[in-house]
Amino acid sequence: LERERRFSADVAHELRTPLASTMINLENALASARPDEAQAALQAARECLVSLARRTEQLLALARLEAGAASGPRARIDLAALALDVVEELSPVIARGNVELAIDHLEEGLTVEGYATALGALLRNLLDNAFRHAPRGGLVTLSVGRRDGHAMLQVLDDGPGIPPERRARLFGRFERGSDTQGDGYGLGLSIVQRAAELHGASVELLEGPGGRGLRVVVTLPLSGQPPV
């Protein structure tokens, strides 16, 4: 019952603003006598609906993780194959955007024990956050490799980054990054953190090269290893 109440509160919190903004923009479009103003209002309404769809998907992903949807049998997962599957899934979004994706390193044969759905949600949200915070013409870099004897997923963007004093708080359900005009990091990092916990993994938010951007490093135990 408590989980259901929290989910209802999450829905109200996350969906109220895009719903209200959509209604306002549609009303402006209907009231406008100028085609160009009506078109601009309709475009703004569409962007609000895109945000609404994204937040709904994140809420459902977080609810499934918190409800223990990943509590079935664990399986061996090839991280490189998982990363390629997620990139393929996001390819239409990448193609429509103005940010380039580079795969810096993709080590084959790295396997972890866990839940493909949860790890897919983890990487999908990391890439989604990176694409939304990188500047137009920017670069997002994905790496899969080893770190101190463990498996590692790394996503790097060249956006504004996050001050060190704010990074720990971003794992809260409704925290925002420095881009207060957009969706911020929202529920995305909560999903990342919950999925990492299910796999005995750690998540670090670090500065990018030269102090620019955000570098997120997820360290996971390889198959047969204890939690990180």
4-22 pLDDT, tens digit each: 666 666 666 567 767 888 8
Averaged pLDDT for residues 89-104: 84
Place of tokens 């790890």: 119
CA distances, 126 to each of 19, 39, 43, 134 (Å): 25, 33, 27, 12
Asked whether residue 175 carries a pLDDT value surpassing 60, the answer given is no
From CA 21, how far away is CA 212, in angstroms rounded?
32
> Among candidates 208, 192, 191, which has minimal Cα distance to 134?
208
Sheet holding 139-147, edge to edge: 100-106, 139-147, 150-157, 214-220, 202-207
Question: What is the distance between the alpha carbons of residues 212 and 159, in angstroms, rounded to a whole number?
Answer: 7
Task: Name the CA dihedral angle for 202, 205, 208, 210, rounded to a multiple of 10 degrees.
Answer: -120
Mean pLDDT score, 117-140: 89
Q: What share of the chain has pLDDT > 70, as a percent?
A: 82
DSSP 181: T
Cα–Cα distance for residue pair 173/191, rounded to 1 Å: 9
User: In the numeric block, which tokens belong to residue 61?
Assistant: 């992903």
User: Which is higher by pLDDT, 12 or 24?
Assistant: 24
Mean pLDDT of the chain: 82
Question: If you average pLDDT over each of 5-14, 110-119, 185-194, which comes out highest?
Answer: 110-119
Residue with tokens 């983890």: 122
Whole-number Å distance between alpha carbons of 107 and 154:
12
- Residue type at 136? R
Average pLDDT over residues 193-207: 91
Does residue 205 have a pLDDT over 90? yes
Strands 139-147 and 100-106: parallel
The model's confidence at residue 178, banded by pLDDT at 50, 70 and 90, is: very low
The pTM (predicted TM-score) of the whole model is 0.72
